Amino acid sequence: RILGSQKHIEKSHDYEFLKPWLGTGLLTSSGKKWHPRRKILTPAFHFKILDDFVDIFQEQSAVLVKRLEAELGKEQGFNCFPYVTLCALDVVCETAMGRQVNAQCNSDSDYVKAVYQIGSIVQNRQQKIWLQPDFIFKLTQDYKNHQKCLGILHEFSNRVIHERKEEIRRQKQQLNDKNNNNNADDLLSQEELGRKKRLAFLDLLIEASQDGTVLSHEDIREEVDTFMFEGHDTTSAAISWILLLLGTEPAIQDRIVEEIDQIMGGDRERFPTMQELNEMKYLEACIKEGLRLYPSVPLIARRLTEDVDIDGYVLPAGTTAMIVVYQLHRNPDVFPNPDKFNPDHFLPENCRGRHPYAYIPFSAGPRNCIGQKFAVLEEKSIISAVLRNYRVEAIDRRENLTLLGELILRPKNGLRIRISRRT
């Protein structure tokens, strides 16, 4: 009644604290702005564009695999969360902006640190009611740090947008000059070069902006920053939880590797293509089951714009409705033995007849996650790369973990796994 409605698409007050960074981009905007913006952005996640992004997923996965070598043979294991987060940050920077920040090799970069810090400041504000009024928040050290982070984040985005616009303008000029010269051979080579050049999310936004008539510079920055925020924390949490879950089930892990070997003809040297990633159905079932048990976004909050009747109870307009995804996914009537990690829940025969809103890791209805195909492809790329090289063993037991329902669902003290080389 709430998620499926075209009316109840206003986000709750909690999202206000993200607006200094993200403005009113796709995540935080209200209906009037959200509807046309969603329409403009949907083509950016077309499968042909995702095909370009797969190369980036693979390259950054290879860096992650190389960095994990440092943890080989460590009996006490290590926290996989920081490694995966930096990998996801590298992926999202290159896919969103076409820029490499090399977070995995340089986690001291100001931009990387600012992304981390602003997230924890926003979280702190959401949790502590006394920090929510602006006039109190502005008296705190957190506010000073917040403003410093904003300066770094916006300066980086603005600079990249300006540079990219200038590059595109120069390329168009060169093409026009070549057209005027009627040099067919030159034109052909230019087109070939154009085909090989990977498009970033930013390029698609600049194209859609129609020289500022549809999207202003500010609008473009809002969406790039939103993609940066939404695209790294959520996928890194999902991948980390799934690696831990697979570390508890060696037989499931072996079954994934068998599937990968079968699809790729046993070739462990090359990267899988997009088509091969799409064929990894059992890996996909494992990812879905991981997102069922540990949804990256554990809560969805909406502000009701009119009264809603649910089973004879009236929720008045102005109420904040919280959908607790974590709890919803543990309904024993839908998922028998709901706390068990069981990828078979997502085999086609077991999904038949299941209510479409019984499983909503990417939300549901008109305001569902625009990047869900992007996220699953990235998760497949990174998890398959890790499993093809390493056998994963969980050190932390699930029942001993303390969960924090922050902006994303994260473990209080990280997730410890042990790795050994897969022969």
Q: Which residues are annotated as a binding site for heme?
A: 369
Residue stretches of the annotated binding site: 369
Alpha helices in 248-347 (DSSP H): 250-263, 274-279, 281-293, 325-328
Give the Å distances, CA to CA, from 215 to 20, 178, 225, 365: 19, 29, 15, 25
Residue 222, SS3 per DSSP: helix
**Non-local CB neighbours of 95 within 8 Å, separated by 6+ positions:** 53, 56, 200, 201, 231, 374
C-alpha 153: how far from chain center: 18
**25 closest CA partner among 292, 241, 228, 167:** 228
Contact in structure between 192 and 186 (CB atoms under 8 Å) = no
Structure tokens at 84: 């995966």
Structure tokens at 338: 């709901």
Structure tokens at 70: 């440092």
Structure tokens at 87: 């990998």
**37 closest CA partner among 233, 199, 200, 218:** 218
